[in-house]
Amino acid sequence: MNLMNDVLIVGSGLGGLECGALLAQRGLRVLVLEGSNQPGGCMQSFRRGGMHFDTGLHYVGGLAPGQSMHRAFAQLGLLELPWQRMDEDFDHVIIGGRHFAFHQGYDAFVEGLAQDFPHQREALQCFVRRLQNTTTADMEVCAYDYLAQTFSDELLLNVVSAAAMKTELRRESLPLFNFAHTCSSYIESSWRLKGDGNLLVNKLLDTIREAGGEVLTNSRVVRLVETDGRVTAAVCADGRSYEAGHFISDVHPAVLSQMLEDCPSVRKAFRRRMSSAENTCGMFTVQLIIKPGAMRYFAHNVFVYDKPNVWTMTEENSPVKGVMLSARVPEDGSDMLRQVDILTPMPWHECQRWDDTKVGRRGDAYKAYCTEKAGECIAMAGQYLTGLSEMVEQCYTSTPLTYRDYLGTPQGGAFGIRKDWRTPLLSFHSVTTPLPNLLLTGQSIVLPGIEGVTMTAFETCSKII
């Protein structure tokens, strides 16, 4: 099979599907090739115990009119999905035995925390102004150093950082650019999807297909063919080859590097930069089915830490130091929930001992490890959800190995390539490449998360449209 397409997209994560939808809407013939049997990447859902669980979608920020994500989601048709606005106090933080809350809206955010830290009101106002005016210059600013200079109260520094478990809180390397974008849109407004992440995935798939595009699963691209300085075809593992005028990679840069080995215009230095970059930590996830009628739904997230310093989360091994709790919106119209996710950062080296074993064959030691770590997470979550362990009907776990095996993410990194304020030219990527018709998208390029990936998808498409 050898079809000529306007645009061929390698990978169907959020960035790939958003690019496909945007370009298909403009009348371009789009072909998306996905290596696994299910599209969606970290946005996809899976079924266990009669329930649908999300892989990475927990909440989205800035969807209200005039806010950071509204226009993009409107153009993609994603505002039509059943979004549910979260509580005004959308993030709760339990740290050092004390309870704090983040409120939606920048002014409310300041006022809420100023109740606990009245002497830091001016510092909080400076902080939210910086969130609202982040520029690319902040790629070269250390997030931790900025926070330490802004807040004289160390507890407040850690409180405002606590909900940023949505990125890798590395004290020595995290750029302010990433930290600010991780926080800002959620403060504007926070939303959960009533239903699983496949609603979002299927909406983008429908947009592509209705415009005449095609998405093929079980089509793992292993090689890109260069002719006269341009990519002309993508070759799949089974030998199928597809031609196109433009190509977009939505796979991890290290994976793309392998596909470019036979492209003479791509220097080894470029491929080495993509293949040798450090990855962020992964996530250990505990997904619980709660007994019917045992727990009321809570429309906010909860972050629980055992010690006041949240910036040491990935510096040492177990035990668990902090968790994020996220509840699934009840779909039966009641106020009783059935599903709760618990997440905690997990460095690759913690599960690397099982690296060479196959899915489903990691043995009793791996199962025992996951059971023990899940128990630690549930116990820590119990500081907020009293009696949680007695409410659990079923428990499922995943490690960075799971994400690596099912999503093709090297080392199961939850946030793509690690960004470093000290080396921005090496850790932040342009969407362009040495091949003029090959572009990049996805969370490893500039920013992770739904906002970052969406911003990058629009930038990628602007090079074609």
Instruction: Give the model confidence (pLDDT) of 220-236 as tens digits.
Output: 999 999 999 999 999 99
* Residue with tokens 């998405």, as numbered in its chain: 215
What whole-number distance in Å separates Cα of residue 426 and Cα of residue 431?
Answer: 13
pLDDT recorded at residue 309: 87
Q: Please report, for residues 13, 140, 211, 444, the alpha-carbon distance to residue 133 in angstroms, rounded to integers and kept in the order given.
A: 29, 15, 37, 23
Q: What is the pLDDT of residues 300-343, one digit of tens each?
A: 999 999 888 898 765 555 566 899 999 999 988 899 999 999 99
Q: Is the pLDDT of residue 448 over 80?
A: yes
pLDDT digits 0-9 by tens, 390-407: 999 999 999 999 999 888
Asked if residue 297 and residue 385 are part of one domain, the reply reads yes
430's tokens: 């342009």
CB 10 within 8 A of CB 250: yes
For residues 283 and 323, membership in a common domain is answered with yes
In a domain, 99, yes or no: no
Three-class SS of residue 292? Answer: coil
CB–CB of 33/235 below 8 Å?
no
Please check whether residues 266 and 296 belong to one and the same domain.
Answer: no
Q: How far is CA 201 from the centre of its chain?
A: 14
Q: State how far the alpha carbon of 78 is from the alpha carbons of 29, 56, 71, 133, in Å.
A: 21, 17, 10, 26
**Does residue 62 belong to any structural domain of this protein?**
no
Looking at the structure, tell me whether residues 238 and 340 fall in a common domain. no
Block residue for tokens 């339990």: 94
Percentage of the residues of the chain whose pLDDT score is greater than 70: 97
Residues 206 and 294 in one domain: no
Count CB neighbours of 245 within 10 A. 16
CB atoms within 10 A of CB 371: 11
pLDDT at 109: 98
407 and 284 housed in the same domain = yes
CA distances from 169 to 172, 314, 413, 442 (A): 9, 8, 13, 20
Span 341-388, pLDDT tens digits: 999 999 998 888 888 776 667 888 999 999 999 999 999 999 999 999
Q: What integer is the mean pLDDT of 45-53?
A: 87
pLDDT of 173 higher than 80: yes
pLDDT-derived band of residue 1, with 50, 70 and 90 as boundaries? very low
Q: Residue 339: give the domain boundaries.
A: 279-412
Residues 324 and 336 in one domain: yes
DSSP 377-424: HHHHHTTTSTTHHHHEEEEEEE-HHHHHHHH--GGG-TTSBPP-TT-H
In a domain, 160, yes or no: yes
pLDDT of the residue at 49: 81
Cα–Cα separations (whole angstroms), residue 60 to 10, 12, 64, 68, 158: 25, 20, 11, 11, 22
Which residue type is seen at 379? Answer: A
Average pLDDT over residues 71-78: 97
- Domain annotation covers residue 66: no
pLDDT(168) > 70: yes
- How many domains in the chain? 3
Any domain includes 75: no
Residues 336 and 425 in one domain: no
| Residues 237 and 174 occupy one common structural domain | no
Mean pLDDT value across the chain: 93
Condensed to tens digits (0 to 9), the pLDDT of residues 233-263 reads 999 999 999 999 999 999 999 999 999 999 9
* pLDDT, position 3: 57
The answer to whether 92 and 302 have CB atoms below 8 angstroms apart is yes
Peptide bond into 410 cis (omega under 30): no
Report pLDDT for 362: 83
The residue out of 170, 190, 210 marking a domain boundary is 190
Is residue 288 within 8 A of residue 395, CB to CB? The reply is yes
